[in-house]
Amino acid sequence: MIGLGNKMRILGVDPGTKILGYCVIDQNNEALQCLTWGVVKGGPSKEVANRLGILYSGLHDIIEEWKPDVLAIEEPFVAPTRGAKSAVTVGQAQSIALLLAVQNEMSIYRYAPTNVKSTVANYGAGSKLQVQHSVRVLLGLGEEEMSEDASDAIAIALCHIYQTRYRQLVERN
């Protein structure tokens, strides 16, 4: 287990087949630095397999460049109105990230959307704007342009950092 005084590089991923949000955050003791964030777009193809190939290549390049230790990924959540087909495609995008994490010997942690929101925005049903505001404040990111998918990925990585710190404190006491 990673101690409070250790370094860790986290890849946060908000899975989706059309747009996959990502970020890379360095934790060095208590200091946090968001190194990069953005989105990988699955492209205009209606074929899910083609979009998954684009997502795989894009995420592979990010992992090669930044060499994260940990993947923090959001568990798929699909509103009941969107249906099972949507849930399956989000799960496929999640599988791409999981496969790349295994291939690169990264530790993998999954978080429910309500867990991410309550950890970062102090409200499990918080809006995307509330989450984005919280990650900006927590990391001092200012008003740089940021998509909702990227801010969700940052929130997922922060959730992992805070949950890890909490678990370590509980284990020590």
Q: From first to last of the 173 residues of the chain, give the pLDDT tens digit.
A: 344 557 899 999 999 999 999 999 999 988 999 999 999 999 888 898 999 999 999 999 999 999 999 999 998 776 666 667 777 888 999 999 999 999 999 999 999 999 999 999 876 567 788 888 899 999 999 888 899 999 999 999 999 999 998 888 888 87
Tell me if residue 69 is catalytic: no
**Is 74 in the active site?**
yes
Taken in order 119, 123, 127, 133, the sign of the CA dihedral is negative
**Residue 14 falls in the annotated catalytic set:** yes
Choose the catalytic residue: 74, 144, 152, 171: 74
Beta-bridge mates of residue 28: 7, 31
Domain map (residue ranges) of the chain: 7-172
Q: Topology of 7-172 in CATH?
A: Nucleotidyltransferase; domain 5 (3.30.420)
